[in-house]
Amino acid sequence: MIEKVNPSHPDKIADRIAGAIVDLAYTKDDNPKVAVEVLIGHGICHIIMETSEKFTKKEIKKIVNRIGGNVKLDLKVYKQDKHLWLNQKSKIKCGDNGIFKGVPLTKEEIELSKIARDIYKKYSYDGKYILDKDKLIICQSHALTEDLVKKYKEAIINPLGYWTGGLNVDSGATNRKLGSDMGHSVTGGGIHGKDLSKADVSLNIYAFKKAQKLHKEVEISCAIGDEIVDGKPYQEIVEEARLYIKDLGGFEKLAEWGLF
């Protein structure tokens, strides 16, 4: 059983805004320290961030309006905690405590991801999809039900009828759709709105990739300040995650669909 949401779902809009802000931080420094939380809906976007970099409200508002539309911005920016900053001052070390799990993707998860992406190509609006063995549920706003019925004959499509979805129907928050982003690899940390030093980003990506390679579940733990994790220099894990995100097109692109 798996759920997938598309990039126009309110929670993904929040993730994408957070990701775009992290992308912006990386234009200012090769190794910025940033953590962003976004809550958006019903005409307003609340953002709280802790960061080593300086942002203008104009820069942030441009991102919010591009991704979330014409909404008001409530922005709070704070400097990163002194102790956290000192942990990263001399070199890249593990930036958080945590446990992480990587799980190989199932055929069901791969299939639903393909279905979600195919539908989104035609209907780039708020959508959520569930696959439970042979039971497929499609909730796709602004869609012609007849069109979807032709392609997905056995699916349950828009159970409440035609709907518009979006930020005036629902609110969105960062890291609220981790199952959609990570399959069964979810533990305690969300992958969006954070720089690469954060284990929630780099170790989640590392564990997920390792599980796909080994075709088995892997578990990893770390403590803040660790220089070696899972027998590897933490900086190597960070660089692997950096390349992975670069290949996707950035943190905002990572936020669109997650890891699969």
Q: What angle do CA 244, 20, 58 make, to 5 degrees?
A: 155
pLDDT single digits (tens) 213-247: 999 999 999 999 999 999 999 999 999 999 999 99
Predicted pLDDT at 130: 98
Predicted pLDDT at 225: 93
Q: What is the largest CA-CA distance in the chain?
A: 60
- The rounded mean pLDDT for the chain is 96
pLDDT single digits (tens) 60-108: 999 999 999 999 999 999 998 888 777 777 788 998 899 999 999 999 9
Predicted pLDDT at 241: 98
pTM over 0.75: yes
What is the rounded distance in angstroms from the CA atom of residue 203 to the CA atom of residue 222? Answer: 9
What is the rounded distance in angstroms from the CA atom of residue 10 to the CA atom of residue 174? Answer: 9
Q: Contact, 202 vs 241, CB < 8 A?
A: yes
pLDDT single digits (tens) 173-213: 999 999 999 999 999 889 999 999 999 999 999 999 999 99
pLDDT single digits (tens) 37-64: 999 999 999 999 999 999 999 999 999 9
Residue 118 has pLDDT above 90, yes or no: yes
Q: Contact, 87 vs 103, CB < 8 A?
A: no
Enumerate residues 6+ apart whose C-beta is below 8 A from 230.
206, 210, 220, 237
